[in-house]
Each structure stands twice: as C-alpha cells, then as structure tokens.
Amino acid sequence: MSTLNTATVARRAGCSVQQVRNLERDGVLPAAERTASGYRLYREVHVRSVLAYRALAAGTGPVEAKKIMRAAHTAPALALALLDAAHARLHTERTDLRLAQEAAEAISAEPILDVSPSDAMSVSELAAALGVRPSTLRHWDAEGLVVPDRDEAKGARRRYSPAQVRDARIVHQLRGAGYRVGPLRTLMPQIRLGRRGEDLKDMLAAREAALTSRSRALLDGAAALSAAMSGDV
C-alpha cells in the first residue's frame, strides 16, 4: 500500500499542511502511521477524509462536519445518522423559506384601508396573534424592526397600528426562516418606505441560493464520505 507525506495530502485536498495536521489531531482523519524518525505516513483514505470534511463543512458547518467525520472512522452507523440529520435540517430550512416567501408576499400585498384607532393592538394581543412572547416584540422594538406607537394617555404603552402589525408578521416569518436581526434591521426601514416587494424578493432569493449551495455541498460531502468509508486504500 503506497504512502503519502503531509504535503502531498495537502496539495491533493486543496488545503494547507497545517490544516491536515489539525484535522488529524481533531480526529477528522484516522491517525497517521509514523516512521522511526517521527514522520507522518498518510494513505488515500486521509485524502478522501479531508475532501469529505471540506465538503461537509460547506454544507452543514465545521462543527457538525467534524462530528460526522470522527464517527465515520469509529462508528459508521452514527456517521450516517448524523448525515441524515443534516439533510433533514436543510429540508426544514427550505420548507420554512418557502412558507416565508408565500407569507411575505401575501402580507406585503395586504391593503390598509379605513384604519381607525380601534384597529390597533397591544403588545399582549399581537404576541398572542403571532404566537410569540411579549418580550420578543419588545426586543424587535429595541432593535428597530417593528416600532409601535405609544399611547401617552395610558403610560406610554405600546400600540401597534395595522401597518405595524403587518410588519411584525413579516419579521416573524423571516425570523422563522432563519434571518438574523442584523439584516432585518437594515431591511425593515426600506420596507416601511415602500420598497417592500423588491427587497423582500431579493433577500429571500439570496437565502434560497445559499440553501442550494449548501445542499450541493452536502451532496458532494456524502459522496466523498462514502469514498472515505470504503476502506484504507
């Protein structure tokens, strides 16, 4: 069985020599053999393992990819279960994204006509309608995502107008689809200025493209993992 040095593994896997050593240290690669003078001797399985890790990391993140690779060398059934779970998470994210796309489109198109003060909602009423905690709405207020009016006659209590309720529904859908507060903090003021449809469409399309990229990486990772688990050749 032919052996490879560290530099050859790094070159073929497209990474640095130090990363190869780090991945071996972390259990992502099987332990290398050593010469009498202490030099590492790698084999084809090590190249395949680095390639599998890199693809899996692009699809599911480096922490989970390391778990999968460590299991591949010690408990193959567990590695397959972890891979199944990674695919399931992507499926859930894609389902949530589709729901967010549908909901955001429908919510954005809702007309607001004949608005009266009685149409406003309190924090507790809106929280119940969305299925979130009142503290979540207060957090969105503090972050500038959905800023309600204040009823000075009632101790400056928050009151959400129909337009603000609609924005809260959009934030709720996008947060559920995995969007972080930072990007939403930039997007929501634009939405309130009337640039709703185009910005939402672009943002959701970018999210979809990222999910597609991760799905492809996970598919490549599964193929590379299968090769790595086929034997030390």
Domain ranges of the chain: 6-92+212-229, 95-211
Strand pairing class (149-151; 33-34)? unpaired
Phi, psi torsion values for 193, nearest 5 degrees? -90, 5
pLDDT of residue 181: 85
pLDDT of residue 79: 94
Q: pTM of the prediction? A: 0.66
Q: Are 42 and 6 in contact (CB under 8 A)?
A: yes
Same fold, 6-92+212-229 and 95-211: yes
Beta bridge partners of 158: 150
pLDDT of residue 38: 84
Q: What is the pLDDT along the chain (233 residues), one digit of tens a residue?
A: 688 999 999 999 999 999 999 999 999 999 988 888 888 899 999 999 999 999 999 999 999 999 999 999 999 999 999 999 999 999 988 887 777 677 666 656 655 555 455 678 889 999 999 999 999 999 999 998 898 988 766 667 888 988 888 888 888 888 877 778 887 787 777 666 655 556 667 777 888 899 999 999 999 999 999 988 886 44
Per-residue tokens: 189: 């003021």
pLDDT of residue 233: 44
Give the position of tokens 């009423």.
125
Give the integer Cα–Cα distance in Å for 86 and 56: 9
Q: What is the CATH number of domain 95-211?
A: 1.10.1660.10
Strand pairing class (157-160; 33-34)? unpaired
pLDDT of residue 205: 84
Per-residue tokens: 223: 């193929």
Beta bridge partners of 33: 41
DSSP assignment of the chain equals: ---B-HHHHHHHHTS-HHHHHHHHHTTSSPPPEE-TT--EEB-HHHHHHHHHHHHHHHHH-HHHHHHHHHHHHH-HHHHHHHHHHHHHHHHHHHHHHHHHHHHHHHHHT----S--GGG-EEHHHHHHHHT--HHHHHHHHHTTSS--EEEGGGTSEEEE-HHHHHHHHHHHHHHHTT--HHHHHHHHHHHHTT-HHHHHHHHHHHHHHHHHHHHHHHHHHHHHHHHHTT---
pLDDT of residue 56: 95
- The CATH architecture of the domain made up of 6-92+212-229 is Orthogonal Bundle (1.10)
Per-residue tokens: 19: 């990363």
Give the integer Cα–Cα distance in Å for 158 and 52: 52
Give the integer Cα–Cα distance in Å for 35 and 158: 72
Give the position of tokens 């086929």.
230
